[in-house]
Structure formats: structure tokens, C-alpha cells
Amino acid sequence: MSTFVESRLEFVFDENWQVERWDEQPAYRSTGGFASVPGTSACDFLGRHAAAPAVYLIEVKNFTEYHHANRDKPTSAAWAETLAAKVRDTLAGALWTRGRSFDEPPIRALVDDTFAALLRDKPALRVVFWVEDRPPLDPAVASALEMAIRRHLVRWFRIGNVRVTSRSRFDPAWVPGLTVRPAGGS
Amino acid sequence: MAIKTLKIESLSAFEDATFELVPGINVLLGANSTGKTHALKWLYASVKALELPVLEGEAASERLLTKVPAVFASAERRIDRLVTVGAGAESGRVLVQGDEGRMLYSVHKPNALSFGGHWKSAAPTVFLPSREVLALYEGFVASYLNRELSLDETYYDACVALSASVARGERAELARTLLAPIEALLGGRVELTGNRFEVVFGDAPGLRLEAHLVAEGLRKIGTLARLIQNGSVLPHGLLIWDEPESGLNPRLVAALVPILQALATAGVQIVLATHDYLLARRLSMLSEASTSAVRPVNFFLLSRSGPSAPVEVASGPTLAELPQTPMEEEFLRLYDDEGRAFAEGRG
């Protein structure tokens, strides 16, 4: 089981997960890591679940705790573009680790499994944009936002299933073995 | 016959537009005044005019010269009114390529048409206009023929199609299969009693309602039921539907998707235009889930850069492979406006 706190939310991945906080990995964040390539970005989580043939990329934004942050909240168009770029850069960054000093377990195994899954015939990339906001995302708006993100992704990938969700709307079937709760709360 | 290509040049809203259709479900999207209904009407008028008997040369030209202006309800029923205004064109062309035939005709000023190609199609073509016709039916045909109504001919044709007798034999068997989910959605069956349609919700007295008393959305579903029941919508035929969502609540819109899918699977080619995000998104999901080499759905986004600019057509098998649609733009604008209202203490 792996537990991470991100944006005041606790993400608990069960024992079937092979998951890393990608944007805090030395491969990304350290001096000489992939973030040193100008203009790159990364998703919060990159992972695989033993029972699902997919690669999961999860990006979290929590606006509910920071009222003033809403003033600077990006527009939906910017979100779509930013998230798609994070997906692109996370996968590029994962591949970039190969043959470098970061190419060690457990990163090596995760990268191997990620690309093995992505190279299968069936669509295998699942992107979750976890948005906590007030008021909560309207389902129709979330669907339109998913489509906007997906539209950006298809420029770079053959595939790209996208789910925009929040704790109040989350269905565990979408991401097996994941539980999300307020950090330090119930 | 399945339609593979529709190409329209210098006619109505189109300077040069091509639609490569799939045998399944074809979906036209776009803001108002981008030519969606016109594209549907060019396809319908062309194919319907030559539905039967097989006509060629001058006979085909004559038939098209009558049918096309009637479908567009152009002034004085002149076809040259449809040659693109503003582009300086003196003529326009339509190409319809089917898997068993091809028609190409030119429309010239003054009011002339020349036909080429060979077209043969025994399968029926139906156009369902955006307004429902089940309640309109009573007395409509006579009123239209007496020129008491100024509606375009798609309404008349739809009423004529509704008037056909219930199919028998093999066609009835197939119709029953397709009808079952539609009648389940409708909660009853459609019957023609005298000169008016009724929806029969049960055998008890009082469960038989004239079409006028049934909700508009259900009347549209009832219209489709009747057209299947009487063999007007058949495998290898063409169903053209302008804004099927109008008058339907979201539950009915969503329920329409598996019905369209079943019709397409049975071999009915469908071409529809919609402004409804729910319908478009659900249809896109069918396409996204498909592993078939031929996608079951194809989308066309019609747009123009200004009011008098020519219509441009982008196409793709899913919504994500089109430029952003006006429906999505509005949802995203709503999201952004809500965010601004919240930040400014207005929300």
C-alpha cells in the first residue's frame, strides 16, 4: 500500500499498485533531472495496477482550501493545454530515464511496465484530472473539459481516456484500488 | 445502397464541401447558419428524387428540378435560387457517390439542371424534420397539395411515409425486432385510426391517446416507431434526421443512442444534425469503444469564419478528433464564467 498527500488530499493506493509521485522523483526534480529541460512539466502520479492493463496518470488540483487561489485559476482552455502537456512530458520523462543514473528499481520496473502497456494494441492510457473546487464541477462541464483535454492528447497519442473528477463524484471503479480522503481527516 | 460521398459545390451555403460518409451513423455538428440542414437536404433531395423508378438523363433532370426546390422551399420553386449568392457563381454541382451508383448534376442559371451518372436505389429514404410530424399528419397531405401550407416538402414526404401500411411478412419480422426497444421507450404502440395517429398505452379504455395529447418528445419517438413498423425505415435504406433532440428531454436523448445504434447495426444508414452535446458525446463513445476497422460513427463539424464566408467541413471518427465544437465552447465558457463569479464574490 502506498499513501501520498497531495493538495491536502490523501491518496491511498492498495498493494496492487506500482505507483510513484512522479513530479517529486529525483528523475524529474533533482539537479540534472528531466525538469531541467526548459518548458517541461509532470503529472503528480504515474502508476500501474496489477489487475488493469492501463497506465494511469493522475493530476490533482484542490482549489477549495485556497479561496484566493481562484483568482488565479487558469481558464478551462489553459487547463486542457497544461494537463495534456503534463501527460506528454511525464511519458517523455519516463522514457528519458532509461540509460541514465535514474534507471534503477523501482523506477526501471515502472517505466518498463508503462511502455509495455502503452505499446499494446488496445488503448491503455488513462488520465485522471482530480479537481476539488467550489462549487463542485458540473458533470456536463467536466465532460466538456475531458473532451478538451482529450483533443489536445490526440495530437500526441493514439489513445487517451480522460476522466475529470473530484472526491464527491469519484467512483472507485474508475481507478481500482484507490481511496482518496481529506488529509488528516475522515 | 449506402452513400459514400456527398460533394456540394457553389450551392446554398457551400462553396466546396465534401462529406465522406460511413455506412453507420453520420453526425453533423456546427453553430446555426453553418449549413447543416442544407447538407441534409441536398443529400435527401438528390436521393429521394431518384428513389424509384430508375431515371436517367432528362427524366432524372426533370425530377431533380422539381424535387430540390420543393425540399428547400425556394422562392417560386426555382432551383437557381440555390446557386451560391455572393461567390459570383453561375452554376453549382452536386455529386452523390453510392456503393452501387453515382449521380452528378449541375444547376445552372436560369433555372436549369443537367444530370449525369447512373443511379439505382430501391431502398427507401426518409427525412425527419426537426419538428415532429405525427400530430401534424391529420389533414396535412391534402393541405400541402392544395398549397395551403408553406412548409418545405420534407414534411409532406414524412407524412406520406407515415401513411404507408404496416409491413407484412419478412419485413414485419425485422421491424418487430427493431421496434421492441422503441415501443418500450414510448410505453406503447402507434396506430393509425382514421386519419389521425394515436399512441396506445394499454388495452384499457382511456389508454389510447391521440398524438396531439402525447408529449412532443414521445411523438418524435412514435414517428420513428411508425416508420419502422411500416417499412419506411429499412436496412439498406437511408434515414436523415434533423435535430432529433428537439423536444426530447435528456433521458430520451440518451435513450435514442442505442436505438440509433441498433438501426445502424441492422443496416440503416443514418445522417443526422444535432446541437445536443449529450447526444454527440454518447455517439462519440460508441466510436471510441469500437475496434472495427470501419468506425460506426463519423462526425462532421461545419463552420464558417464569418457570416458570408464559405462553410468549411472538418471530420473525424470521434469528437476529440474534431476542432472544438460550439456546444463544448459554451460549457467551458460556463465553467470559466462561474469561476470568475466565484472569485468576484458574485457566485
Domain that holds residue A167: 2-182
Residue B319: per-residue pLDDT: 94
Using a CB–CB cut-off of 8 Å, the residues of B that contact A are: 277-278, 281, 291, 319-322, 324, 327-328, 331-332, 334-336, 338-339, 342-343, 347
Query: pLDDT tens digits for B228-244?
Result: 999 999 889 999 999 99
Closest Cα in chain B, distance from residue A69 (Å): 9
Please enumerate in sequence order all residues whose Cβ is within 8 A of that of A66, keeping only pairs 6 or more positions apart, or say none: none
Minimum mean pLDDT range among A48-52, A65-69, B75-79, B328-332: A65-69
CB contact A151 to B (< 8 Å): yes
B332 closest CB neighbour out of A70, A122, A148: A148
Which site among A76, A153, A163 would you substitute to test the B interface, given the most B Cβ atoms closer than 10 Å to its Cβ? A76
**Third-level CATH fold of B1-122+238-245+254-347:** Rossmann fold (3.40.50)
Distance of CA B281 to the CA centre of its chain: 18
Residues B320, A141: C-beta atoms closer than 8 Å: no
Most confidently modeled range among A34-43, A127-136, A139-148, B111-120: A34-43
In three-state secondary structure terms, A113 is helix
Residues A144, B335: C-beta atoms closer than 8 Å: yes
pLDDT of B219 higher than 90: yes
Residues B331, A154: C-beta atoms closer than 8 Å: no
Residue B347: per-residue pLDDT: 47
Residues B320, A150: C-beta atoms closer than 8 Å: yes
Task: Give phi and psi for B146, each to the nearest 5.
Answer: -85, 5
Average pLDDT over residues B55-59: 79
Chain A residues in contact with B334 (beta carbon < 8 A): 138, 141
Closest Cα in chain B, distance from residue A2 (Å): 32
**What span, in angstroms and rounded, lies between the C-alpha atoms of A64 and A4?**
19
A73 closest CB neighbour out of B281, B331, B339: B339
Using CA coordinates, name the residue in chain B closest to A71: B343
pLDDT of A172 higher than 70: yes
Percent of chain B with pLDDT over 70: 97
Task: Give phi and psi for B224, each to the nearest 5.
Answer: -60, -40
Residue B294: per-residue pLDDT: 81
Query: pLDDT tens digits for B271-312?
Result: 999 999 999 999 999 998 888 888 899 999 999 998 888 999
pLDDT of A69 higher than 50: no
Would you give the DSSP letter of residue A181?
E
Query: pLDDT tens digits for B156-197?
Result: 999 999 999 887 887 788 888 899 999 999 999 999 998 899
pLDDT of A163 higher than 80: yes
Checking DSSP bridges between strand B238-242 and strand B269-273, what pairing results, if any? Answer: parallel
Which site among B285, B318, B336 would you substitute to test the A interface, given the most A Cβ atoms closer than 10 Å to its Cβ? B336
Query: pLDDT tens digits for B123-165?
Result: 899 999 999 999 999 888 888 888 777 789 999 999 999 999 8
Chain B residues in contact with A140 (beta carbon < 8 A): 277-278, 331
- Tell me the pTM: 0.89
First CA to last CA across chain A, in angstroms? 18
Residue B175: per-residue pLDDT: 87
Percent of chain B with pLDDT over 90: 65
Half-sphere exposure of B242 (CA within 13 A, CB side): 22
Closest Cα in chain B, distance from residue A21 (Å): 28
Is the CB of residue B125 less than 8 Å from the CB of residue B237? yes
CB contact A138 to B (< 8 Å): yes
pLDDT of B85 higher than 50: yes
Domain count, chain A: 1
Higher pLDDT, B157 or B342: B157
Query: Considering just the CA atoms, what is the radius of gyration of chain B in Å?
Result: 21
Residue B168: per-residue pLDDT: 83
Residue B344: per-residue pLDDT: 66
Chain A residues in contact with B291 (beta carbon < 8 A): 122
Residue A159: per-residue pLDDT: 65
Give the residue extent of every domain in chain B.
1-122+238-245+254-347, 124-234
Is the CB of residue B54 less than 8 Å from the CB of residue B80? no
Percent of chain A with pLDDT over 90: 55
Using CA coordinates, name the residue in chain A closest to B326: A144
Residues A145, B335: C-beta atoms closer than 8 Å: yes
Which helix H or strand E contains B338, and what residues bound it? helix B326-343
Residue B203: per-residue pLDDT: 84
Half-sphere exposure of A58 (CA within 13 A, CB side): 26
Cis amide leading into A182 (omega within 30)? no
Task: Give phi and psi for B126, each to the nearest 5.
Answer: -125, 135
Query: pLDDT tens digits for A98-149?
Result: 999 988 889 999 999 999 988 886 768 899 999 988 777 888 889 999 999 9
Is the CB of residue B104 less than 8 Å from the CB of residue B94? yes
Neighbours of A7 (CB within 10 A): 18
CA separation, residue B284 to residues A147, B78, B251 (Å)? 10, 39, 17
| Confidence band, pLDDT 50/70/90 cuts, at residue B30 | very high
**What span, in angstroms and rounded, lies between the C-alpha atoms of B210 and B134?**
10
